[in-house]
A and B are shown apart, each in its own frame.
Chain A
Amino acid sequence: MADRHSRSADVSTGGPGVTSSHARPAGATASTGVLDGQPGGNAPVPPDFRINGGGLGGGGSLPRRKGFGAESMFRGLTLAAGTMVLVIIVAITVFLIAKAVPALRADDANFLTETDWFANDSPPRFGIAALAFGTVVSAVIALVVAVPIALGIALYLSHYAHQRIATTLGFLIDLLAAVPSVVFGLWGVIVFVEPVRDFSVWLNKYFSWIPLFGGDGPFGRSLMLGGLVLAIMVLPIITSLSREVFMQTPTANEEAALALGSTKWEMIRTAVLPYGRPGVIASVMLGLGRALGETIALAMTLGFINEISPNIIKNGGNTIAANIANGFGEAGEIGRGALIASGLVLFTITLVVNMIARAIIYRRREFTESAA
C-alpha cells in the first residue's frame, strides 16, 4: 500500500519528468523512457504505468463525486428520450383505438369474418377477412420467391464470387433497395404485368388442376403480380443482411469443416448456414415486415376484388395497406375509423410474425449464444 502510494505520488505530484511527458504529442509518450535514454524515467515506475497513468491515476486525496456533470446530464437525456418514445407509442395507440372502436360498433357485419368493405354505406358493412388474407398471401408469395434467390445471391457474394464482382453486384443490389416503391408499382402495373399475364395463362393451361392456378381469367393484375413485385422489393434487404452474416462466419469454423474433408458446399452447410441462421431469420423477418406493410406498390398492381380465393393468378386481391391507401381519400367518419381498425389488425399480424421469429431464434439460444 505504502509502496503504491509513493509510486503514484512520484507520477502525479508533478516532477519535471511528468510535465515533459505531458508536453509531448500523445503518440510520443509511449516511448519517452527509451528516447530519453533514461529507462523508465523515475526509477520505480514501470514505463507502461506512466503511459496509462500519466497523472490521471490521481495522487493526493480523492476528489468528491460531482453533483451535476456530463455524466448525470447524459443519463437524464437518455432517460427523457426513452420515456418520450414510450409516451408517443401509448398516445398513438390510444388515439387509434379511440377512433376504431366507434366504427367497429357501427359495423353491421362481423368485422373478423366479413370479406367486403363497404364502410361508407349506411349501414356500414365491412370486414377484415379478405384483406388480411390478401396481405398474408401476397407476402407469402413474395418470401417464397425471394428467400431462396436472396440466399443464393448472398452465398455467391460471400463465398464464391471474386472480390470485384462481389463488390459490383453488391452495389447493384443495394441500389435496388433504394428504388422508391411507387416506381416499383408503376413498373409492375405497366411493364411487369405483361410477362406475368403470359406466365399466368401458361400456368392456367397446364396446371389448372391445382387450385392456385385454376379459374378462367382474366389474369394479370393478381396476387401473384403483387407478390412478385414485393419479392423484388424485399430481395435486397434479405440479400445484403444475409451476405453480411455469412461473411462473419469465423474462419476457424470454415477451416475446421474443410480440414474434415468437406467440399465447399458441404463446408457452407456445416459451418456457414448454421452460423448465419439467426441472422437469416432476422433478415427474412425484416423482409416480411416490409412485404406486409407495403402500400403503394400493391395499391397500383392489384386488381381489387375483396374475396378469399385460393386462386392467385386471376385479377383481384387486396391487402390491408393497399385498401387504406385507396380508401382513405373518400372515407367518412366511420370509414376512417374502419380503416384505422384494419391498420390495427395489420399491426397485430406483424407483431405475431415477429414474435414467432423471436421464438424460433430463442429456441436455439443456448447454441447461438455460445457462438457469439
Chain B
Amino acid sequence: MAKRVEATGVTAYYGSFKAIDNINLRVEPKTVTALIGPSGCGKSTFLRSINRMHEVLPGARVEGSLTVDDENIYDKDVDVTAVRRMIGMVFQRPNPFPTMSIFDNVVAGLKLNGVRRKSVLQDAAEKALRSANLWDEVKDRLGKPGAGLSGGQQQRLCIARTIAVEPQVVLMDEPCSALDPISTLAIEDLMFKLKDKYTIIIVTHNMQQAARVSDRTAFFSIERTGDPGRLIEHDSTQKIFSNPSQKKTEDYITGRFG
C-alpha cells in the first residue's frame, strides 16, 4: 500500500525559469516527510513534480528522475493518469467540486476509474470519510453540496476524496494553511492515522506542525530571488529541529532567516 519515493537530480522549470535545481531526496514508505523552507524556494514545485502535476502548467517541465518503488514515473511510456492515481494530492486551499454532493465528491476518483456499482461506491465513501475523520459530521447529509461544508470539513473532504482511490503516496501542500487550530489538529491526527497505510509528503510553513507530524524533514532554500531552490538538508525531524548540521537550516528554524 505504501511505496518508496526517490528523487534523483530533479530540476523543474517554468518556461525558462529554473525553479528548483538538482533535488535528491528519498522518502521511505509509511513515513511522513515534511518539506519546509522560505516562501518561493520551490517546495510546491517539487511536490507537484512528484505526481507530474507540474507539467500541467503551460511551459512547465521537469528533468531528472523520480522513482516510485524503482519505477521511473517520468519514463516516456508511463501513463500520467496512472501516476496521479498512485500518488494522490491534497491542495493548499480546499477544492471540492462545487457542483457535486459530498458523496459524489468522495467517489469522484472511483467513478473516473470506472467503478459504477452503487454498493461498492457507498462502502468506499464511508471508509474514506471515516479515515478522514469526517464521517460522523456528514453522514446525514451526504447528498448536500460539498462546497457547503466549513473550510476544515472541506479540506477533510478533499483528503477523503484523495484516499478513496487508495493511492500509494499522499502529497499535501500546506493542507492546514486555511484552517483554524482545531481543524488543523484534526488533520494532524489524521496524518498519524494515514501513516500506517500511506507514504506522506507534506509542505508546511508551520514549524510546530512539521515537528509534530513528520518523521523526517527536508529543508529547502534559495540564495537570492531568481535563483532556483535547492535542498539544503534532509534528516530525521528530531535531528533537524535539535541539531541541524547546516547553519542555514538552524537560522531558518530558529527564525533568524533572511
**Interface contact B95-A367, CB-CB below 8 Å:** no
Do A260 and B148 form a contact, CB below 8 Å, given A252-B91, A255-B95?
Answer: no
**Interface contact B53-A259, CB-CB below 8 Å:** yes
A178 → chain B closest CB, angstroms: 31
Select from chain B the residue with minimum beta-carbon distance to A273: B99
Rank and list the top 8 A-B pairs by shortest CB-CB distance, nearest first. Answer: A371-B98, A261-B85, A274-B99, A252-B95, A370-B147, A260-B109, A261-B84, A259-B89
| Among B85, B86, B97, B147, contact of A256 (Cβ-Cβ < 8 Å) | B97
**Interface contact B81-A364, CB-CB below 8 Å:** no
**Interface contact A261-B95, CB-CB below 8 Å:** no
**Interface contact A366-B145, CB-CB below 8 Å:** yes
**Interface contact A256-B112, CB-CB below 8 Å:** no
Select from chain A the residue with minimum beta-carbon distance to B53: A259
A368 within 8 A of B: yes
> B127-159: contact bitstring with A at CB < 8 Å (1 yes, 0 no)?
000000000000000001101100000000010
Select from chain B the residue with minimum beta-carbon distance to A372: B98
Do A258 and B56 form a contact, CB below 8 Å, given A250-B95, A274-B100, A367-B98?
Answer: yes
A residues contacting the other copy or chain, number (CB 8 A): 24
A263 within 8 A of B: yes
A311 within 8 A of B: no
> A217-260: contact bitstring with B at CB < 8 Å (1 yes, 0 no)?
00000000000000000000000000000000010110111111
Interface residues of A in 336-372 (CB under 8 A from B): 364, 366-368, 370-371
A48 within 8 A of B: no
Which residues in A have some Cβ–Cβ distance to B below 8 Å? 250, 252-253, 255-263, 266, 270-271, 274-275, 277, 364, 366-368, 370-371
A277 to B86 alpha-carbon distance, docked (Å)? 31
Contact partners of B101 in chain A: CB under 8 A: 367
Contact partners of A371 in chain B: CB under 8 A: 98-99, 147
A260 to B104 alpha-carbon distance, docked (Å)? 13
Give 7 A-B pairs besides A252-B93, A252-B95, A261-B165 with Cβ atoms closer than 8 angstroms: A259-B53, A260-B85, A260-B162, A262-B81, A263-B81, A366-B144, A367-B99
Do A270 and B112 form a contact, CB below 8 Å, given A260-B84, A275-B98?
Answer: yes
18 contacts between A and B (CB under 8 A): A252-B91, A253-B98, A255-B95, A256-B91, A258-B84, A261-B81, A261-B83, A261-B84, A261-B85, A274-B97, A275-B99, A366-B145, A366-B148, A367-B98, A367-B99, A367-B100, A368-B99, A371-B98
B254 within 8 A of A: no
Contact partners of A263 in chain B: CB under 8 A: 81
Contact partners of B89 in chain A: CB under 8 A: 259
Which residues in B have some Cβ–Cβ distance to A below 8 Å? 51, 53, 56, 81-86, 88-89, 91, 93, 95-101, 108-109, 112-113, 144-145, 147-148, 158, 161-162, 165
Do A260 and B165 form a contact, CB below 8 Å, given A253-B98, A271-B97, A274-B100?
Answer: yes
Contact partners of B162 in chain A: CB under 8 A: 259-260
Contact partners of A250 in chain B: CB under 8 A: 95, 98
B198 → chain A closest CB, angstroms: 15
Select from chain A the residue with minimum beta-carbon distance to B158: A256
**Interface contact B100-A257, CB-CB below 8 Å:** no
A257 to B113 alpha-carbon distance, docked (Å)? 12
Select from chain A the residue with minimum beta-carbon distance to B93: A252
Do A367 and B145 form a contact, CB below 8 Å, given A255-B56, A257-B108?
Answer: yes
Select from chain B the residue with minimum beta-carbon distance to A260: B109
A252 to B95 alpha-carbon distance, docked (Å)? 6
Do A253 and B95 form a contact, CB below 8 Å, given A261-B85, A370-B147?
Answer: yes
A366 to B162 alpha-carbon distance, docked (Å)? 24
Contact partners of A258 in chain B: CB under 8 A: 53, 56, 84
B175 → chain A closest CB, angstroms: 13
A270 to B100 alpha-carbon distance, docked (Å)? 9
A260 to B86 alpha-carbon distance, docked (Å)? 9
A129 to B192 alpha-carbon distance, docked (Å)? 71
A253 → chain B closest CB, angstroms: 6
Select from chain A the residue with minimum beta-carbon distance to B92: A252
Select from chain A the residue with minimum beta-carbon distance to B109: A260
Contact partners of B81 in chain A: CB under 8 A: 261-263
A165 → chain B closest CB, angstroms: 14
Contact partners of A259 in chain B: CB under 8 A: 51, 53, 84, 88-89, 91, 162
**Interface contact B108-A255, CB-CB below 8 Å:** no
**Interface contact B84-A256, CB-CB below 8 Å:** no
Select from chain B the residue with minimum beta-carbon distance to A259: B89
**Interface contact B53-A261, CB-CB below 8 Å:** no
